[in-house]
Amino acid sequence: MSNFTSSVEVPAGLHLPIYMDNHATTSVDPRVLEAMMPYFSVKFGNAASRNHSFGWEAEAAVEAAREQIARLIGATAKEIIFTSGATESNNLAIKGIAEMYRERGNHIITQVTEHKAVLDTCKRLEKYGYRVTYLPVKADGLIDLEDLKRAMDDKTILVSIMAANNEIGVLQPIAEIGKLCHEKNVLFHTDAVQAVGKVPVDVIADNIDVLSLSGHKIYGPKGVGALYVRRRNPRVQIAAQIDGGGHERGMRSGTLNVPGIVGLGKACEIAQQEMKSEAEYLTALRDGLKNKLESALDYVHVNGSMEHHLPGNLNMSFVYVEGESLLMGINDVAVSSGSACTSATLEPSYVLKALGLGDDVAHSSIRFGLGRFNTQLEVDYVAAKVIDVVKHLRQLSPLYEMVQDGIDLTKIQWAAH
């Protein structure tokens, strides 16, 4: 009765599989790769070699990249420190500030839907005697600025709040947070990995003191990232977490990843030139996908505020369908699920739970991450496929049937296992 073979046709010109998981990582832009190539071969010098042309050439490339990155976020080149990626940037920012400002205080404020690179760093600092406040988020995924105000005390040294969330794409009010921090003389760090290059971020206008960014989320290479560290009003000091040759003004030792840095610089330059048109393009694709899914299916739920949202993100719960089974049905499309079954811990997404969603709704969620290289043809196919598979799985779902029959699922005595 339920012999299911998807009836969705693959139109001419559509290449499978489709990559729609651009919050996890992005494909390197061909223009970025082209810029990087010489730095693997003929221009292989160490940027720290001061006494020959190989070194000078590499150093010049690094400084050009520093400029490109600084320009994208409204900083100056000297304020950019290269790292291995955003995880390192977040660790360096939070641990480096905690260590440097220990005399002034030991209180850090963050929020519950941060990336683990921030949350786990804060947890480690708690073991060393720091006090951390984890602000809650509202149902739309945004923090309440009043909560932030209330959490600040005379021991608060740092507020770390992300610019855009990696799962639900919600944009936190970083300009307001920055303003508040500066009024209270507290440093403001933002993990802007998902926001930089996608939406305007300006460290001056937004009062950001320290900012983490990464190459591979913006069509650059993996293994390279940067940390913006403000030099004026105030001059931020960071204790190095990696000791060695004193590279990067002593804040981050280690031979610079020149090809990676060149790629990151080029990726930032392209992002700056194309951000506006790309945001419009992705918003149109995303809204089209959302409208198609919402008009064809009942019991769909959009997670996170759509008003304060990244252009390419759509996080949706297809209630009464378990996320991993949905992924299995759309196996020629690469997306992510908040379902426990897809995680190592068998726990559903902590971000979705923080919005107050029940575990059952969290288990049903899919994250679509649209990017520069996605096309309308791909979106149309993905929408048709998701609709087809959700309908199939709802025929198999006892929960969907019960709800159709008017049964209140919350009244059932479930035997949790």
Q: Does residue 41 bind another protein (CB under 8 A)?
A: no
The minimum distance between CB 137 and another protein, in angstroms, equals 21
* Cβ proximity to another protein, 16 vs 60, nearer residue: 16
Nearest residue to 96 (alpha-carbon basis) of 286, 250, 246, 225: 250
Q: Give Cα 123 distance to the centre of its chain.
A: 20
* Cβ proximity to another protein, 212 vs 397, nearer residue: 397
* Cβ proximity to another protein, 22 vs 110, nearer residue: 22
**Residue holding tokens 């809204």?**
287
Which DSSP helix (H) or strand (E) runs through 313?
strand 313-318
Site string for another protein, 385-414 (x = CB under 8 A): ----------xxxxxxx-------x--x-x
Q: Does residue 250 bind another protein (CB under 8 A)?
A: no
The minimum distance between CB 64 and another protein, in angstroms, equals 25
Distance separating alpha carbons of residues 358 and 407, to the nearest angstrom = 18
Q: Mark the segment that binds another protein (CB under 8 A) among 6-14, 65-73, 103-111, 174-182.
A: 6-14
Helix 116-127 to helix 86-100 angle, to the nearest 10 degrees?
A: 30
Contact 44, 241 (CB under 8 A): no
Q: Does residue 144 bind another protein (CB under 8 A)?
A: no
The minimum distance between CB 371 and another protein, in angstroms, equals 9
Site string for another protein, 341-380 (x = CB under 8 A): x----x-x---------xxx--x--------xxxxxx---
Distance separating alpha carbons of residues 168 and 314, to the nearest angstrom = 7
Q: Does residue 415 bind another protein (CB under 8 A)?
A: yes
Q: Does residue 246 bind another protein (CB under 8 A)?
A: no
The minimum distance between CB 380 and another protein, in angstroms, equals 10
Site string for another protein, 149-178 (x = CB under 8 A): ------------------------------
List the strands of the sheet with 300-302, edge to edge: 300-302, 313-318, 365-369, 336-337
Distance separating alpha carbons of residues 101 and 93, to the nearest angstrom = 12
Q: Does residue 7 bind another protein (CB under 8 A)?
A: no
Please give the torsion angle defined by the CA atoms of residues 95, 96, 101 and 103, in that order, rounded to the nearest 10 degrees: 70
Q: Mark the segment that binds another protein (CB under 8 A) among 5-13, 38-46, 61-69, 169-177.
A: 5-13
> What burial class does residue 141 get, using C-beta atoms within 10 Å of its C-beta: 0-12 exposed, 13-18 middle, 19+ buried?
buried
122 carries an active-site annotation? no
Distance separating alpha carbons of residues 413 and 399, to the nearest angstrom = 13
The minimum distance between CB 28 and another protein, in angstroms, equals 8
Helices (H), 161-257: 174-183
Tell me the C-alpha to C-alpha distance, in Å, between residue 237 and each of 88, 90, 416: 17, 15, 50
Residues 303-342 that bind another protein (CB under 8 A): 320-322, 324-325, 328-329, 331-332, 334, 339-341
Site string for another protein, 279-308 (x = CB under 8 A): ------------------------------
Q: Mark the segment that binds another protein (CB under 8 A) among 2-10, 57-65, 143-151, 184-192.
A: 2-10
* Cβ proximity to another protein, 377 vs 387, nearer residue: 377
Query: Among 122, 181, 268, 341, which one carries the catalytic annotation?
Result: 341
Q: Does residue 15 bind another protein (CB under 8 A)?
A: yes
Helices (H), 26-108: 30-36, 53-73, 86-100
Helices (H), 297-397: 323-329, 350-354, 359-362, 376-395
Identified binder of another protein from the candidate list 1, 7, 9, 232, rule CB under 8 A: 1
Contact 377, 13 (CB under 8 A): yes
Cross-strand bridge partners of residue 53: none
Q: Does residue 273 bind another protein (CB under 8 A)?
A: no
- Report the SS3 class of residue 318: strand
Entry field: residues in the chain: 417
Catalytic residues: 341
* Site residues (vs another protein, CB under 8 A): 1-5, 11, 13-17, 19, 27-30, 320-322, 324-325, 328-329, 331-332, 334, 339-341, 346, 348, 358-360, 363, 372-377, 395-401, 409, 412, 414-417
